[in-house]
Structure 1
Amino acid sequence: MSSLDQENDGRDPLRDRLAGLPDSPGVYLHKDVRGKVLYVGKAVRLSARVRSYFQDTEKDPKTAQLVRLIADVDYIVTRSETEALVLEDQLIKEYRPRYNIRLKDDKRYPYLRVTLQEPFPRVEVVRRLADDGSRCFGPYTSVRAMRETLQHALRIFQVRTCELDLPHQTVPRPCLDWQIGRCSAPCVGYDNAASYRRKVEALVRFLEGEDASLVAELKAEMADHAAARRYEEAARVRDRLKVLETTLGALSPIHGLTGDLDACGIARDGARACGVVLRIRRGRVLTSHEFHFEDRLDSGTPDFLVQLLREYYPRAGDLPPLVLLAHDVPDPEAWRERLSGLRGRPVKLLRPRRGPKLEAVAMATANALHKMEARRLQDLSSPRRAAPERTAALQVALGLRTLPETIECFDISNFQGRETVASLVYFRGGSPLKSRYRRFRSRTVAGIDDFASMREVLLRYYTRLQEKGLPPADLVLVDGGAGQVGAARSALDELGLAGWN
């Protein structure tokens, strides 16, 4: 990574940096005066992309705010656009820049892991992938959906979840899972290695989305037991078959779709967005994965779609040969190469225009819209949870230099044209702090004069704060027009608070 030499010869070091940018693919990092990374991006041509930020063209307010904060630009040259794509992803995760699109629920999602490397494999829930020969399915953004899938799988295939080191470690009697039909109890010899391995392989195929062959195999197994007059065993297989058929019947088929694919949809509302990946196998929707994003720039919908690809696929347990997109994405060839590298085989990206594939993308987009609205309603019903988001949004909307952690709001009211009263409402961390609410009567203003009353109240209040050694709020809001704002600014100027928000 290059560094900026701070020279005191009158030159603009940022301009020197821009002049020296290479005409190569790579990743750039915008930094503020403290060296903090504000934004990470990639480019096919670093020189053209980075200089575009500083051209005299009209920019949206949020991008203009970012440009005002840029004091330094670092860059890393890569050998290809795909390499830049991978590096960009790594740097965003490392620095978490405030102006990049960010995942709102930035946490590790769970996977279902089948330990195929063990003599008697088990299925477990994990949050980290390991290259140890096991198979992982996920990530599941809904823990509830994952647990439902696991419960169905255990009832059908009876694979163990315990941590016994089989066959070296055994127990005298089977556990509760065997008694309720969720494990075939290889720990006590009720199931041999070959039979148990077949159950595990069937479980893997089930999680991969296979259906018809599994049903046929269970039917054949039930018939074999019945022909040999092993009626109890036949009844147990029948019960497993019923659970499998019920589970498969609950999956949503898309008419005309065959094969394995993912459908990716995006819904957005201003700075909020939700992305959904529908995991479709053999024409049926197996799982739905949702991701919620927030953005400090006016990014387009394709940018949110790129972030969805970036968040989901490096962690996906299995990649299909086809990924359907609701919108065209920038640099599609780089993304094809990136996803193909993750899968180990070719992956095709397609934006469908008609037919069943378009229906699949429409379903993903509709789910994204529904889940985004559900999250919005959830946030509205939880003020404490929504408060930090509201404060950050206010900083961006008003172009403030710092986050307004504390806010003081003033209003002037007149009662029957005679008495002038002012009120102060106080917010901390985006939530009202009623113990700091205040009410004032105008003392020095004769008659009705909102401007003079506003000035008087602010002078009295902030003089009192200074006498007590207390700082003013990060942001001062006044209700009214230019006159009220001018009166408030006059009071703050007089007290030496002119630089306040």
Structure 2
Amino acid sequence: MPRHKAFPPLPGVYLFKDANGQAIYVGKAKSLKNRLASYFQKNIESPKTRSLIDHYKTVEYIVTPSELEALLLEQKLIKKFKPKYNVQWRDDKRYPYLKLSINEDWPKLFLVRERENDGALYFGPYEAGSVRETIKLIGKLFLLRKCKASPLKKRKQPCLNFYMKRCLGPCTGTVSSEEYKNIVLAVAALLDGNLDETISNLEKEMQKAAKNEDFEKAAYIRNKINKIKKIHRTKPSWMPHIKAIKYEPALKELKKVLRLNKKPYRIEGFDVSNTQGAEIVASMVVFVRGELHKEDYRKFIIKTVTGPNDVASIYEVVYRRYAGTLKEKLPLPDLILIDGGKGQVESAYKAMKKAGAEIPLISLAKKEELIYSPGIEKPLKLPEVSEALKLLQRIRDESHRFAINFHRKRRGRFF
């Protein structure tokens, strides 16, 4: 049994390890000393806790500057080590998620028991106590709406939360869509562990308020920034840098202009590369919420095509992706993007049809940046300033880069 006096009365994360040095449970605490002492009481009622104590060998801990950072580090370590008892307990009702409903125009943050594939952002799972602490803290820092209505219902008069300064009152138009979005970005960044991005988003709002001579609002945001900087006084090296929500406007625009049933959160892009028909290869890149998802990238050596025939090569790679083993190994995308024109998109469509896949499909041709869809003669041309077009260009260019690099490596074997 460890000596509890050896643990500091400070916030942090603790790891129970087995005889092999493997982490079997990770937890967080407001006071490491008090929390760890609770595990070694004489009468432990919980069978799960008794099992943990029976199987652990050592306890290690990491002190963090704040309870919030302990919460963020706990999730990071659980994802990294996948400890036995965390995995076994995560389906327990005591381990809910935080849901940030960015799939609606005026998002809110609330507790849910299960994740859904609905386009919202999910954080966790957390212990119930932790998740309520997090909501309480964020409620003090960010005045997101707390009403349950989805979508938000407009009102003539704000609710009590507005008068108690617990809500910005979007239901009455007291906050602009842009301002509210920046606050949502700050919340998402905070929950992702990226406090720098949270502060950056708030500083933009503060500068905007000062420019409009709304000095009371600017002072309020300044105080909020100072509170977060106190949390952030020592930034740990483990903090991630995720910007998933950044491309929501582009995804929303894509849904509209391509007439999709939902926002294309997962987009897979394909391209082909060869030198005069030799060493033909293809690439598949994946973007999730507008960001590179490199763990799902794939390279293909074209096997059924001879000579410089990009159309036939696209047919092979698309068929192999959606009819072969990758169909089972990887989730299906919400949109497929082919680097090319009319010929390439029609060839890809035939391959998908043969594979039995029904997924929205387009191609993006270089130079004029025209978007082609199968079965439609007239291409779509978006304005240069379009966020949707910029995202498609990034995906197209990334698939092109990935294909060329693979081709060069294979070609280099002969020199």
Q: TM-score, normalised by structure 2?
A: 0.34
Q: Higher Cα Rg: structure 1 or 2?
A: 1
Q: TM-score, normalised by structure 1?
A: 0.29
